[in-house]
Amino acid sequence: MKPGIHPAYRPVVFRDATTGEQFLTKSTADSDKQVVWTNGNTYPLITVDVTSASHPFWTGTARIVDTAGQVEKFNRRYGQRKRAI
């Protein structure tokens, strides 16, 4: 690797905006916000919208789409069209 052209790879804290859960990992992401971690060190804080703590697939709250109900709703709204001969 060429020196001086790559961003710094350092520990960063990510916080879920919905649940408030935080985790420490390494990243090249940069932030002006700082947070004191449980070990007493200060790390950059990145707030994200979705993590595994709030994503429906990982939390088990995924919705099942009722496609049959959608078709019935469409038919009720617009009805069956008659063919012009």
Q: DSSP character for 56?
A: H
pLDDT of residue 79: 78
pLDDT of residue 82: 67
CA dihedral sign, ordered 10, 44, 50, 22:
positive
pLDDT of residue 83: 66
Question: Any idea where the domains of the chain sit in the sequence?
Answer: 10-78
pLDDT of residue 16: 92
Q: Kindly report the average pLDDT of the chain as a whole number.
A: 85
Residue type, 58: W
Regions in the chain scoring below 50 on pLDDT: none
What is the tens place of the pLDDT at every residue in 55-75? 777 777 766 666 667 778 888
Please say whether the beta carbons of 76 and 68 come within 8 A. no
Alpha carbon distance 47, 18 (integer Å): 10
Sheet with 42-48: list strands edge to edge: 22-27, 10-16, 42-48, 34-36
pLDDT of residue 41: 96
